[in-house]
Structure formats: C-alpha cells, structure tokens
Amino acid sequence: MAARTSARIADERITDHLAAADITLQGVLDALTDPVRRAIVQQLAAAEADVVCGAFDIEVTASTRTHHFKVLRQAGIIWQHYEGTLKMNTLRRDDLERAFPGLLDAIIAAADREVGRA
C-alpha cells in the first residue's frame, strides 16, 4: 500500500490534519516524548495497511487512546480517515521523511531498542 501524504483529501469529520509544510520538528519531538505514542508509531510503522484505532496493543482507556491519536494527528505524524464507522490510521512516513530525513527511522529504532530492554 502506498503511504498517504498531506495531499490526500481530508475526511470532513477530521479537520485538524497539518499540511506537510506545517509539520515542525518541535511538534514531532513533543508528540513522541510519550511512550504510548511511540508504541502507536512503532505499530503503524510495522503494519502493512492502515490500522483501526481499536487494534493497537496499548493498555490505556478509550478516552486516553483518543487523546494520544489526536496529539499524533495534530503533530503531523499520523493521518486519520474513516472507512465506514471505523477510524483508520496511517503513518505519514513520506511527509516526515521529506521534512526531517532519517528522523522517523531513528526514533523507531531507538524505541525498538527500549522495548527490547524492558
């Protein structure tokens, strides 16, 4: 599956996606300080397709899960859209790679190492 970019037309129910040009290093780093959000990014990076919100292996309440997805979306790290009633998630790998070459892969690799130590 091809990665989605900010050029994609936003689902009218989700209105706070950043344009690729508006993604900032500070916003990305701030969003990824939380281990739950890093776990979401790791799982999206490993997925071969879009992932529905409820399928992530994270142990938080539904409202907390929603908050974490919102932070990632507003930082420009993920793209969300609906398929019927399911909210799907895609990692904005291409947008992030253009803005900050190598950063996403470095963060994922570091997070993978941290998980290996736990």
Dihedral sign from CA coordinates of 101, 105, 109, 115: positive
Which strands, in side-by-side order, build the sheet including 78-83? 51-52, 86-91, 78-83
Tens digits of per-residue pLDDT, 67-79?
Answer: 999 999 999 999 9
Q: Does residue 33 or residue 6 have the better pLDDT?
A: 33
Tens digits of per-residue pLDDT, 85-100?
Answer: 999 999 999 999 999 9
State the angle between helix axes of 35-46 and 103-117 in degrees (0 to 180), rounded to the nearest 10: 110
Can you spell out the DSSP letters for 55-74? GS---S-HHHHHHHHHHHHH
Tens digits of per-residue pLDDT, 11-54?
Answer: 678 888 999 999 999 999 999 999 999 999 999 999 999 999 99
Q: 81: part of which helix (H) or strand (E)? A: strand 78-83
The DSSP code for 12 is: T
State the angle between helix axes of 62-74 and 35-46 in degrees (0 to 180), rounded to the nearest 10: 70
Tell me: pLDDT of 4 over 50.
no
* Dihedral angle computed from the Cα positions of residues 15, 16, 21 and 27, in that order, rounded to the nearest 10 degrees: -170
